[in-house]
Amino acid sequence: MIRSDIIRGHLDSIILRLILEEDRYGYEISKEISQRTDNRFQIKEATLYAVFQRLEKKELIESYFGSVSLGGKRKYYKITTLGKAFLKESAEEWEITKEIIDLFMGGLK
């Protein structure tokens, strides 16, 4: 398991990336994060919904209700044009960050 504080600063980008692939609802995003990381990282529901609120407030995502499922209507999230631009910028920033961290941490295994 990885310390969540290491990833916390990148949660917005991770969630935007998943929503870029397709519109998704909360539980689906949570499950996808766990699956893709082989359960090494799991996001708490409260954290996830705080991220959704923050991203909506910044107009990086929009929400809508899907058709009725067994438990009622699901709230889906989709990325906005502004969200796509933010994600592209974040990806470029991440590449530079990785290079800098690798300069100091590479070869220590």
For the chain, the domains span 4-105
Q: Looking at domain 4-105, which of 2.130.10.10, 1.10.10.10, 1.10.10.60, 1.10.260.40 is its CATH number?
A: 1.10.10.10
pLDDT tens profile 24-55:
999 999 999 999 999 999 999 999 999 999 99
Q: On the CB side of 79, how many CA atoms lie within 13 Å of its CA?
A: 19
How many residues are given for the chain? 109
Rounded to the nearest integer, the mean pLDDT of the chain is 91
**The model's pTM:** 0.88
- 109 band by pLDDT with thresholds 50, 70 and 90: low
